[in-house]
Amino acid sequence: MSIEIEIVSGDEGRPRARELLDRVWPPAEMDKLSWGQVKWASADLRVMIETDDGTLACHAGIFFRTVTWNGQKVHIGGIGGVATRADHRRRGYASLALEAAVHTMRDHDAAQFALLFCEPHNFEFYRSRGWHPFTGAVYAEQPGGKIRFEAMAPLVLDLKRRAPTLGTLDMCGLPW
């Protein structure tokens, strides 16, 4: 089966991405998840992997943001909403989507390092692809104001510079 990998704008890809994300994380089941009530940022770009019958098999959101690390501004990239349809898993699609997202962030001159959040059962997936834990404190906005964000674990990837693994990272906005 052939596939097509496309990078689209966040807005353009949102409806199809939403459909896939709702399949993977059904809205009715979100209450059961520790992070089910988190308000997430909208992706700036999206990696969409489509099969030749037009099915959106896999998605990864790409984010760019100026955050602060230990009080200093730094422009970073991010990945979120990585999901593969259950019936299309273990074919390497998420690995390809991640690779495409990292390429895109590397091409974005100003992104110094990358950040994502994930659940413990996915640590190995990312760790074996070069991501490592950020063990400092992360702060992010939520509708009620700024909070220490601990709903999921942060992982970082070196891009233009070595990613910090300690210190205080303020997302200066919603998490992704």
Ligand X SMILES: CC(C)(COP(=O)(O)OP(=O)(O)OC[C@H]1O[C@@H](n2cnc3c(N)ncnc32)[C@H](O)[C@@H]1OP(=O)(O)O)[C@@H](O)C(=O)NCCC(=O)NCCS
- Residue ranges that bind ligand X, judged by CB under 6 A: 24, 58, 82-84, 89-95, 118, 122, 124-125, 128
Residue closer to ligand X by CB (options 30, 110) is 30
Structure tokens at 100: 């495409």
Structure tokens at 152: 């999921």
> Any idea what DSSP says for residue 44?
S
Residue closer to ligand X by CB (options 68, 122) is 122
Q: How far is the CB of 147 from ligand X (least distance, A)?
A: 20
Q: How far is the CB of 78 from ligand X (least distance, A)?
A: 12
Q: How far is the CB of 38 from ligand X (least distance, A)?
A: 13
Residue closer to ligand X by CB (options 82, 138) is 82
The total number of residues written for the chain in this structure: 176
The CA dihedral of 134, 132, 58, 81, to the nearest 10 degrees, is: 0
Asked if residue 117 lies in contact with residue 79, where contact means CB atoms within 8 angstroms, the answer is no
**Cα 64 from Cα 83, distance rounded (Å):** 19
Q: How far is the CB of 95 from ligand X (least distance, A)?
A: 3
Residue closer to ligand X by CB (options 151, 160) is 151
CA-derived radius of gyration, the chain: 16
